[in-house]
Amino acid sequence: MTERVTKRRRETNERLLDAAEQAFAEHGFHGVSIAELCARAGYTTGAFYSNYGSKDELFLALFTRRSEIVVKQLGEAVDQAVVSEHPIATFIGLASVVDEETRSWFLISTEFTLHAIRNPEAAQALARHDAAIRAALAELIAPLLTTTPSKVTGTDLDMLMRFVVAVREGGLAQSLVEPAALPHGELERRFLPALLGGL
């Protein structure tokens, strides 16, 4: 494959991902067809099927792209936190910020999670992607754990990551429904420093 063809394919894929992210955020995963996604991106369905076999595959590609962005952002937060007076609290404060992209992705990923719960094949694929992001996050926060007496490793560390994700996503769901009662990131900022520091 020539460099020119590879570049064109990459650009096509990025446009499909951008169109899907916008459409899923606006109308939901089930609220938009493949044909509508392609029209929004300016392509025929042939372009879609030359890159993906289904909408599920497209979502998982979006998941991978979003995960890379999040890991980069959290890596920058770790770099700032480890040189601060209170590393874990600083990291959680930086990591718990919610912007419009975070809100949109939460809507997209929550709907796909419900889809996966009803679809075993989608659930298995999502579980693999979730495991990969948990492993990346565990590696990322390792420098922070060295600032506490914590000795969490292996399976316990994966379970800790599951708990942190549960608090993050559960808190975000509640704060989007009741923003006045529960500001974004409040649960994480209030409880996670004590939890991580006391493990």
pLDDT in tens, 103-136: 999 999 999 999 999 999 999 999 999 999 999 9
pTM for the model: 0.86
In this prediction, residue 199 carries a pLDDT of 62
Q: State the DSSP code for 52.
A: -
Distance (Å, rounded) from C-alpha 124 to C-alpha 117?
10
Distance (Å, rounded) from C-alpha 73 to C-alpha 4?
31
Of the CATH numbers 3.30.479.10, 2.170.120.40, 1.10.10.60, 3.40.50.300, which one belongs to the domain with range 1-53? 1.10.10.60
**Is the pLDDT assigned to residue 1 strictly greater than 60?**
no
Residue 154 backbone class (left: φ over 0; alpha: ψ -120 to 50; beta: rest):
left
pLDDT digits (tens, 9 = 90+) for 25-57: 999 999 999 999 999 999 999 999 999 999 999
Distance (Å, rounded) from C-alpha 185 to C-alpha 160?
18
In this prediction, residue 150 carries a pLDDT of 59
**Amino acid identity at 126:** L
pLDDT digits (tens, 9 = 90+) for 67-111: 999 999 999 999 999 999 988 899 999 999 899 999 999 999 999
**Amino acid identity at 40:** R
pLDDT band at residue 195 using 50, 70 and 90 as cut-offs: confident
The residue extents of the domains of the chain are 1-53, 55-197
**Is the pLDDT assigned to residue 152 strictly greater than 70?**
no
In this prediction, residue 52 carries a pLDDT of 94
In this prediction, residue 135 carries a pLDDT of 92
CATH number of 55-197: 1.10.357
In this prediction, residue 162 carries a pLDDT of 93
CA angle 57–64–12, rounded 5-degree value: 65
